[in-house]
Chains A and B, each alone.
With several copies, the nearest count.
Chain A
Amino acid sequence: PIGRHSTNSGSVVDVAVAADFIHTLQDLGTAFASAGGGHIVISAGSTGKLYAQIHAGAPYDVLLAADVSTPRLLVKQGLGVAASRFTYARGRIALWSRSPRRVDNKGLVLRNGKFRHLAIANPKTAPYGAAAREVLQHLGLWQTLRTRIVRGDDIGQTFQFAASGNAGLAFVALAQLKDPAFPASGSYWIVPQKLYAPIDQQAVLLERARNNAAAIAFVKFLHSHRARTIIRRYGYNVD
């Protein structure tokens, strides 16, 4: 694949990122640049869409996916550099309502609260959705709430459902609530990790950037303490 764009622009790294991580990445980019790394160009999209694009030769150097399976698949198909694959963040979900004091710190509102709609991300396409389903199944509410669940395309939409007041409650990414730039009001319950399988988000260096020093440097940077601090600040767990 030939990308007219970044073949010889050594100091530019094209990063494809899952939508939930975009603000974190912006901060990381600033930090990377100030550390003398280079400039990163961010293309956001859902992980599924990004996969299809990479498959079609998209000029991305690094993928920060929202799941594990996509980077794994890319590596398997020879589109990703196997050695570079690693979990850069572990997402956490929270049950959120825009009304203050609506959500208690045990999530009891799910069982006895009055709400018309509960928004979750589409479990089929979004890892956060799958996690939300798991939580509900764990609590034994998946069947009872079935008719009240509305599904956003991704956690961005899920957040909008609740933020616009159309859905009383929503399972959103903790990162969305912790975002320093847009602190959310209302009340939330950070769902205990034991209720769902970890939402591991993996990064992978893409094959076309195998020899791109700046890209390699960026992936390395993600491992750094400085990067981890930033990521943690957005509500992600990092190993």
Chain B
Amino acid sequence: MNALAIDFTPVWLTLRLALTSTAILLIIGTPVAWWLARTSSFCKLPVESIVALPLVLPPTVLGFYLLIALAPTGPLGRVWHAISGGSLAFSFSGLVIGSVLYSLPFVVQPLQNAFEAIGERPLKVAAMLGAGPVDRFFTVALPLARRGLVTAITLGFAHTVGEFGVVLMIGGNIPGKTQVLSISIYDHVEALEYGRAHVLSAGLLAFSFLVLFVVHLTNRRLQARGL
């Protein structure tokens, strides 16, 4: 085997994980951010702080606690087992849960800021043009929060790609199943296979640069046309 021969399975897995997680992050994060931006409930402050909390735990430690929660005897794992019959730890679904939890603040906070910056005005204008709440959310709030959305996607995606502490912990580093690129690079470094690590890192950087570049470019295009 060539010393630099590279297995591409982790690349696809990473891409799949990052895309799935980003999608789920948006689906969960957007309503949370919207609620946080508009509520004046006394729950707002605690919820805001709780969303940011996963950040302060070292990923491996967060992973450790997740591992306990996801275990067949743990709270989440039991529910999941009852529903799907499978186990969460060491599965792709588990990875997604971990990534989502860990990257949530990066998605919620920029979105919340963007929603707050919109203010009441455009929503009132839209209401007067006949748009109901859901309609307003999709046709006014989201487009006006576009910059925040881009940041949320950027941070969420990049962070999921780079994340490895949580993923390593709850994924079990199973090649082809839970061994994502970040772990694979990490393994090369640990195993002193610096050459392969360099190649993979460079590839990851180039690829991510490309993705981020495209996201920012799209954003610019939209900006030029719209806001």
Interface residues of A (CB under 8 A from B): 1-5, 14, 16, 19, 22-23, 41-46, 48-49, 51-53, 55-60, 73, 116-117, 119, 122, 124-125, 149-154, 156-157, 159-161, 163-167, 176, 179, 181-182
CB-defined A-B contacts under 8 Å, sample of 24: A2-B72, A5-B177, A14-B174, A43-B179, A46-B190, A48-B192, A49-B168, A49-B190, A58-B172, A59-B174, A122-B173, A124-B187, A125-B191, A150-B173, A152-B172, A153-B168, A153-B173, A154-B190, A156-B192, A160-B64, A161-B172, A164-B89, A165-B74, A181-B193
Q: How would you classify the secondary structure of chain B's contact residues: helix, strand, loop or mixed?
A: loop
Q: B70 — which chain A residues lie within 8 A by C-beta?
A: 56, 166
Question: Chain A CB within 10 Å — which of B60, B176, B190 has the most?
Answer: B190
* Residue B90 interfacial (CB < 8 Å): yes
How many angstroms between the C-alpha atoms of A201 and B98 in the bound complex? 32
Verify A52–B169 contact, CB threshold 8 A: yes
Verify B190–A166 contact, CB threshold 8 A: no
Partner of A49, one of B60, B68, B77: B60
Verify A43–B192 contact, CB threshold 8 A: no
Verify A165–B71 contact, CB threshold 8 A: yes
Known: A49-B168, A117-B172. A156 touches B191 (CB 8 A): yes
Verify B67–A53 contact, CB threshold 8 A: yes
How many angstroms between the C-alpha atoms of A176 and B72 in the bound complex? 24
Q: B172 — which chain A residues lie within 8 A by C-beta?
A: 16, 43, 45, 53, 58-60, 117, 119, 150-152, 161, 167
How many angstroms between the C-alpha atoms of A53 and B169 in the bound complex? 7
Q: B60 — which chain A residues lie within 8 A by C-beta?
A: 49, 157
**Other CB < 8 Å A-B pairs besides A41-B174, A56-B68, A166-B70, 6 of them?**
A43-B179, A45-B172, A73-B192, A122-B173, A150-B173, A161-B172
Verify A53–B190 contact, CB threshold 8 A: no
How many angstroms between the C-alpha atoms of A104 and B42 in the bound complex? 56
How many angstroms between the C-alpha atoms of A16 and B189 in the bound complex? 18
Verify A166–B72 contact, CB threshold 8 A: yes
Question: Chain B CB within 10 Å — which of A41, A53, A182 has the most?
Answer: A53
Verify B71–A51 contact, CB threshold 8 A: no
Q: A182 — which chain B residues lie within 8 A by C-beta?
A: 192-193
Would you give the shortest CB distance from B81 to chain A, in whole angstroms?
8
Partner of A176, one of B64, B168, B179, B192: B192
Verify B87–A57 contact, CB threshold 8 A: yes
Q: A179 — which chain B residues lie within 8 A by C-beta?
A: 192
Verify B174–A149 contact, CB threshold 8 A: yes
* Residue B3 interfacial (CB < 8 Å): yes
How many angstroms between the C-alpha atoms of A181 and B191 in the bound complex? 11
Would you give the shortest CB distance from B124 to chain A, in whole angstroms?
51
Verify A151–B190 contact, CB threshold 8 A: no
Q: B193 — which chain A residues lie within 8 A by C-beta?
A: 181-182
